[in-house]
C-alpha cells in the first residue's frame, strides 16, 4: 500500500517530464522537418504530379496523360544505352571506389614521416569543384592533348577518349573516382585509427599475419564505415552529371549519357518537363529501393554497429 | 530545468533568427521599385553592346515615366531556352529577349510571343514600310508580327592572309579572282595549307560538332537541307546532303585540314587558315597580329548561295509588363536606334542595308569588304531553315550527325538514312 501510494503521484510527474522532453525534441527537429517538407516533400509530390502530364512550358499548358510518360521510357530507344551506362557507373564507382578508398586508407594509416603530405595529396581533389576538375581533365583527354602526347612518346597511337563507347565511360569513371576518393579515404582513415590496438596485438600474438589481421580484425571493426562509404558511392554514382555535361553532353548520340543528364536535357533543353519528371521519378525510385535493400543487408555484413 | 529553459530559448531564438534571416532572400528588390521594371535577356556580354542598349534604354526611360528601370541580362545562346522556360515555370520570365530565327516557329506556334504589329503601327516615326518584307517573313503570321529582326547577317569566310602568303598557297581571294571559288577548290587549298603549315586550313566557328546550322553554307551550296520546305519530311538522306557532308567528312578525317571532334582550334587566335562566322565576329580581329580578309562563302553545284542567320527582339506573352515591353521593343527597333544597333549587327531596314552605312559604323571592315555581305542579305541569301518543335529537331539532328556522320569510318550512304530515322519522328510530332 505504501509502495502504491508512493508510486502513484510519481507517474504523472514522469509523464509530464517525458512529454516536455518530447516537445523539446520536436522543437529541435522542427527546422529540419519544415525545411524538408517545404523543399523536399513538396518538390517530390510536384514532380510526380508533373510526370502524369504533358507540359508545354512555352504555351503554359498541362494536359493529363496518365502513365504515358512512364510508358515512353519503355519505348524510348535512347534508354537502351542510357540505363546500362547509369548502372555501369553505379557498379564501377561503388565497388572500385570503396575498394580503392580502403586500400589508400590502409596505406595512409602508416606511421611515416611526412605521411600528412600524402594524405593531403589524396584529399586535395575533393576540395576542387567538379566543374574545375572536369575542365582540367578535358585538356588531358582532348584530341592531341596530354594523354595522347604521353601515349605518342611511347609509340602508342592516340585514342578517341571522348568519342563514346566503353572507353569514354571508363574515362568518366576515372575522373569521378579521382575526384571523390579523398573524402572516402578520410572517412575510412578515421575508422581505421579508431580500431583498438589491443585487438590487433592480440591477433598478432595468436600468430596472425598482416593480411589476416586486416581481414579478420580490422575490416570487421571498420565495417560500419565501409558500409557507409559504399552507400554514399551508390547514391552519388546515380547522380553523375557534371562530367557528362562538360565533356561530351552525352554524345555522340547518347553513347556517354546517363539518367541524371537525360533528365536535365529533356527538362531544360528540350522543354519536355513531363517526360523529364517521369525519368526523375524513376531515378528516385531506383535509388530508394537500392538504398533500402542495402540497409537491410547491412545486418549481415556490418559488425559492431551499436558500439 | 534551467539548462532546458536556456536550450529551449536558444532553439526558439535560432529558429526565429533563421526564419527572419531567410525572409529577405525570397523577396526581390529592384532599383526604382515604385515604377515598372523591364527585363531583357541577350546572348552578348560585350561591354560595347551592353552600353549601346543601355544608352537606348535611358532615352526610353526619359520619355516613359511609368517605367523606372530596364535590366539587361547576358547569357550564352545555348542557355537561352533553359533560362526562358525556367523563368516561365517560376512565373518570373523576362519581358523581352533576343531570339534566334531557328526558335521562331516553335515560340510563335506555342503562343509564347506578343503581337507587336499594332504597337509598331502606332509608334510615331517608326516607318514600318522601311522593314524589308522578305526579312520579316519568319516573324510574321498573317497580319501579326511577333518580333523585329535586329541582326540579319550571312555566315562569311574569314581567312588569314599572312598564313596563306607564307605557305605559298592560293588564298580564297585568289580563287575568287580566278573564278574558281568553290568548296571543291577550297578543300584542295585547305589541304595544301595544312600540309605546308601543320595548321588546320579551315575550322567551323562556334560549331564543336554540335551546331548543324554552321554547316549551312556548305549544305546550301550543294542544294541540301535537312528537311523539305514545309518542314514536314526529312531530306537529310538526299544525294545533295551526301555530297556536301562527304566533302566536310573528307576534310576532317582524310585530309586533316579541319579539326577532328573535340579538338579546340581558334581562327581568331591565328590557329587556322580560315573560318566561317558571322559579321559580328569581326570584333575578335581587333589587334590580331596577322593580316586577314573576308569573302562570301564558296559556291557549289547549287550556285553561290549565302546562308543568312537572323535574330529578333521579341516580347514574351508570359511577361508581366506587356504594354511597356511592346513600347520598348518598338523604341529599340525604330529607325534611329536601328541605325545605332547596325554598328554591330546587320539591319533589316532597307534604308540602312547598304555597305556604306555598315562600313561607317564598323571600325574594321571597309565598304568593299561589306558589299558581299549586303548582297547576301538582300539578294542571294537564304535565311536559316526553321522547323516546328525547333529545340527537339535540332537536338535530334545534331545528336544523330555526331553519332553516325562525324566518325572516321562513317559510310554516308548508310549514315544519312539513320539521321532521317532519328529526326523524322520529331519533325512529324
CA distance A227 to A302: 7
Whether residue B262 sits in one domain with residue B408 = yes
Which of A31, A57, A254 has the CB atom closest to B18's CB atom? A31
pLDDT level of residue A198 (50, 70, 90 thresholds): very high
B316 three-state secondary structure: strand
Identify whether A32 is part of a domain. yes
Number of separate domains in chain B = 2
Whether residue B230 sits in one domain with residue B135 = no
Residues of B in contact with A268 (CB under 8 A): 81-82, 85-86
CA distance B324 to B359: 33
Kindly report the nearest CA distance between residue A287 and chain B, in angstroms. Answer: 26
The per-residue pLDDT for range B283-339, each reduced to its tens digit, is 888 889 999 999 999 999 999 888 999 999 999 999 999 999 999 999 999 999 999
pLDDT level of residue B27 (50, 70, 90 thresholds): very low
Inter-chain CB proximity B392 and A163 less than 8 Å: no
Kindly report the nearest CA distance between residue A150 and chain B, in angstroms. Answer: 17
Q: Is A300 exposed, middle or buried (0-12, 13-18, 19+ CB in 10 A)?
A: exposed
A64 three-state secondary structure: strand
The per-residue pLDDT for range A248-277, each reduced to its tens digit, is 999 899 999 999 999 999 998 898 999 999
Which of A163, A269, A273 has the CB atom closest to B81's CB atom? A269
Kindly report the nearest CA distance between residue A307 and chain B, in angstroms. Answer: 28
What are the start-end ranges of the E strands in B36-139?
36-42, 67-74, 96-100
pLDDT level of residue A225 (50, 70, 90 thresholds): very high
> What would the DSSP string read from start to end of B104-118?
HHHHHHTT-B---HH
**How far lies B97's CA from each of A285, B147, B383, in Å?**
38, 10, 20
Closest CA to B110 of B136, B152, B146: B146
Identify whether B11 is part of a domain. no
Which of A27, A268, A270 has the CB atom closest to B86's CB atom? A268
Inter-chain CB proximity B402 and A253 less than 8 Å: yes
Identify whether A62 is part of a domain. no
Whether the per-residue pLDDT at B366 is higher than 90: the answer is: no
Kindly report the nearest CA distance between residue A42 and chain B, in angstroms. Answer: 15
Q: Which three cell numbers stand for residue B196?
A: 605546308
CA distance B118 to A138: 51
Q: Are A234 and A294 in contact (CB under 8 A)?
A: yes
CA distance B136 to B145: 8
CA distance B258 to B215: 13
Number of separate domains in chain A = 2
Domain that holds residue B337: 36-152+310-383
Determine if the peptide bond prior to B118 is cis (ω within 30°): no
The pLDDT assigned to B160 comes to 97
Q: How many CB atoms neighbour CB B407 within 10 A?
A: 19
The pLDDT assigned to B342 comes to 86
Domain that holds residue A105: 81-301
Closest CA to B351 of B337, B363, B339: B339
Q: Which three cell numbers stand for residue A246?
A: 562538360
Whether the per-residue pLDDT at A6 is higher than 70: the answer is: no
Whether residue A144 sits in one domain with residue A6 = no
The pLDDT assigned to A306 comes to 58
The per-residue pLDDT for range A102-146, each reduced to its tens digit, is 999 999 998 888 888 999 999 999 999 999 999 999 999 999 899
Whether residue B237 sits in one domain with residue B356 = no
Q: Residue A167 is part of a domain; what is its CATH number?
A: 1.10.3720.10
Whether residue A134 sits in one domain with residue A33 = no
pLDDT level of residue B13 (50, 70, 90 thresholds): very low
Q: The whole model's pTM is what?
A: 0.85
Whether the per-residue pLDDT at B50 is higher than 70: the answer is: yes
How many percent of chain A have pLDDT more than 70?
Answer: 94
Q: Are B243 and B307 in contact (CB under 8 A)?
A: no
The per-residue pLDDT for range B63-76, each reduced to its tens digit, is 999 999 999 999 99
Using DSSP bridges, classify how beta strands B148-154 and B144-145 pair: parallel, antiparallel or unpaired: unpaired
The pLDDT assigned to B5 comes to 46
Note whether B17 contacts A: Cβ–Cβ < 8 A. Answer: no
Note whether A77 contacts B: Cβ–Cβ < 8 A. Answer: no
What's the whole-number average pLDDT of chain A? 90
Inter-chain CB proximity B399 and A254 less than 8 Å: yes
pLDDT level of residue A14 (50, 70, 90 thresholds): low
What's the whole-number average pLDDT of chain B? 88
Identify whether B169 is part of a domain. yes
Identify whether B189 is part of a domain. yes
The pLDDT assigned to B367 comes to 82
Residues of B in contact with A244 (CB under 8 A): none
Whether residue A27 sits in one domain with residue A106 = no
CA distance B339 to B37: 25
Q: Who wins on pLDDT, B280 or B392?
A: B392
Note whether A27 contacts B: Cβ–Cβ < 8 A. Answer: yes
**How far lies A36's CA from each of A40, A43, B21, B49, B329, in Å?**
5, 10, 18, 44, 43
Using DSSP bridges, classify how beta strands B140-141 and B144-145 pair: parallel, antiparallel or unpaired: antiparallel
Q: Are B277 and B158 in contact (CB under 8 A)?
A: yes
Whether the per-residue pLDDT at B16 is higher than 50: the answer is: no
The pLDDT assigned to B301 comes to 96
DSSP A239: T
CA distance A86 to A73: 15
Identify whether B5 is part of a domain. no
Residues in Cβ contact with B347 at an 8 Å cutoff, skipping those fewer than 6 apart:
B150, B151, B152, B338, B339, B341, B353
Amino acid at each position: 500500500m505504501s509502495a502504491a501510494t508512493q508510486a502513484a503521484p510519481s507517474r504523472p510527474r514522469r509523464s509530464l517530464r517525458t512529454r516536455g522532453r518530447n516537445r523539446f525534441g520536436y522543437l529541435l527537429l522542427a527546422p529540419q522537418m519544415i525545411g524538408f517538407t517545404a523543399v523536399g516533400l513538396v518538390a517530390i509530390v510536384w514532380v510526380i504530379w508533373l510526370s502524369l502530364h504533358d507540359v508545354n512550358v512555352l504555351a503554359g499548358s498541362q494536359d493529363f496523360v496518365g502513365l504515358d510518360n512512364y510508358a515512353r521510357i519503355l519505348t524510348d530507344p535512347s534508354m537502351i544505352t542510357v540505363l546500362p551506362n547509369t548502372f555501369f557507373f553505379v557498379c564501377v564507382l561503388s565497388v572500385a571506389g570503396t575498394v580503392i578508398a580502403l586500400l589508400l586508407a590502409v596505406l595512409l594509416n602508416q606511421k611515416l614521416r611526412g605521411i600528412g603530405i600524402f594524405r593531403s595529396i589524396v584529399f586535395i581533389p575533393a576540395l576542387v569543384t567538379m566543374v574545375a576538375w572536369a575542365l582540367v581533365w578535358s585538356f588531358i583527354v582532348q584530341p592531341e592533348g596530354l594523354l595522347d602526347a604521353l601515349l605518342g612518346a611511347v609509340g602508342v597511337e592516340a585514342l578517341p577518349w571522348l568519342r563514346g563507347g566503353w572507353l569514354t565511360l571508363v574515362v568518366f569513371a576515372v575522373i569521378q573516382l579521382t575526384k571523390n576518393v579523398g573524402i572516402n579515404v578520410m572517412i575510412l582513415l578515421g575508422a581505421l585509427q579508431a580500431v583498438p590496438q589491443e585487438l590487433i596485438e592480440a591477433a598478432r600474438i595468436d600468430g596472425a599475419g598482416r593480411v589476416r589481421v586486416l581481414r579478420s580484425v580490422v575490416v570487421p571493426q571498420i565495417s560500419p564505415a565501409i558500409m557507409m562509404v559504399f552507400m554514399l558511392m551508390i547514391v552519388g554514382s546515380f547522380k553523375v552529371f557534371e562530367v557528362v555535361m562538360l565533356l561530351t553532353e552525352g554524345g555522340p548520340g547518347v553513347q556517354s549519357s546517363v539518367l541524371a543528364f537525360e533528365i536535365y536535357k529533356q527538362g531544360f533543353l528540350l522543354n519536355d518537363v513531363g517526360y523529364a519528371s517521369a525519368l526523375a521519378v524513376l531515378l528516385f525510385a531506383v535509388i530508394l529501393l537500392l538504398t533500402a535493400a542495402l540497409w537491410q543487408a547491412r545486418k549481415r555484413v556490418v559488425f559492431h554497429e551499436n558500439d | 530545468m534551467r539548462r532546458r529553459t536556456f536550450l529551449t530559448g536558444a532553439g526558439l531564438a535560432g529558429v526565429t533568427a533563421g526564419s527572419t534571416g531567410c525572409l529577405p532572400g525570397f523577396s526581390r528588390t529592384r532599383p526604382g521599385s515604385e515604377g515598372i521594371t523591364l527585363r531583357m535577356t541577350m546572348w552578348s556580354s560585350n561591354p560595347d553592346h551592353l552600353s549601346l542598349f543601355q544608352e537606348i534604354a535611358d532615352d526610353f526611360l526619359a520619355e516613359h515615366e511609368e517605367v523606372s528601370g530596364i535590366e539587361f541580362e547576358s547569357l550564352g545562346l545555348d542557355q537561352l531556352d533553359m533560362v526562358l522556360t525556367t523563368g516561365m515555370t517560376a512565373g518570373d520570365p523576362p519581358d523581352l529577349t533576343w531570339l534566334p530565327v531557328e526558335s521562331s516557329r516553335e515560340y510563335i506556334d506555342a503562343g509564347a510571343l506578343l503581337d507587336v504589329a499594332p504597337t509598331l503601327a502606332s509608334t510615331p516615326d517608326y516607318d514600318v514600310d522601311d522593314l524589308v518584307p522578305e526579312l520579316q517573313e519568319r516573324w510574321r503570321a498573317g497580319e501579326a508580327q511577333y518580333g523585329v529582326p535586329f541582326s540579319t547577317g550571312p555566315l562569311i569566310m574569314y581567312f588569314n592572309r599572312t598564313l596563306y602568303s607564307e605557305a605559298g598557297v592560293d588564298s580564297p581571294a585568289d580563287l575568287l579572282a580566278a573564278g574558281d571559288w568553290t568548296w571543291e577548290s577550297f578543300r584542295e587549298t585547305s589541304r595544301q595549307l595544312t600540309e605546308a603549315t601543320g595548321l588546320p586550313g579551315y575550322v567551323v566557328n562556334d560549331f564543336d560538332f554540335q551546331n548543324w546550322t554552321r554547316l549551312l553554307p556548305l549544305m546550301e551550296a550543294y542544294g541540301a537541307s535537312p528537311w523539305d520546305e514545309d518542314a514536314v519530311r526529312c531530306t537529310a538522306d538526299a544525294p545533295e546532303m551526301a555530297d556536301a557532308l562527304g566533302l566536310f567528312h573528307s576534310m576532317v578525317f582524310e585530309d586533316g585540314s579541319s579539326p577532328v571532334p573535340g579538338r579546340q582550334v581558334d581562327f581568331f587566335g591565328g590557329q587556322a587558315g580560315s573560318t566561317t562566322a558571322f559579321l559580328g565576329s569581326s570584333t575578335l580581329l581587333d589587334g590580331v597580329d596577322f593580316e586577314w580578309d573576308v569573302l562570301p562563302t564558296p559556291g557549289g553545284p547549287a550556285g553561290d548561295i549565302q546562308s543568312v542567320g537572323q535574330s529578333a527582339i521579341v516580347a514574351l506573352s508570359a511577361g508581366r509588363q506587356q504594354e511597356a515591353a511592346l513600347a520598348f521593343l518598338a523604341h529599340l527597333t525604330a529607325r534611329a536606334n536601328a541605325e545605332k544597333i547596325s554598328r554591330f549587327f546587320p539591319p533589316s531596314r532597307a534604308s540602312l542595308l547598304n555597305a556604306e552605312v555598315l562600313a561607317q559604323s564598323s571600325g574594321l571592315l571597309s565598304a568593299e569588304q561589306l558589299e558581299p555581305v549586303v548582297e547576301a542579305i538582300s539578294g542571294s541569301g537564304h535565311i536559316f531553315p526553321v522547323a516546328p518543335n525547333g529545340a527537339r529537331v535540332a537536338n535530334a539532328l545534331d545528336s544523330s550527325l555526331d553519332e553516325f556522320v562525324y566518325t572516321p569510318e562513317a559510310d554516308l550512304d548508310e549514315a544519312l538514312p539513320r539521321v532521317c530515322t532519328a529526326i523524322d519522328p520529331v519533325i512529324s510530332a
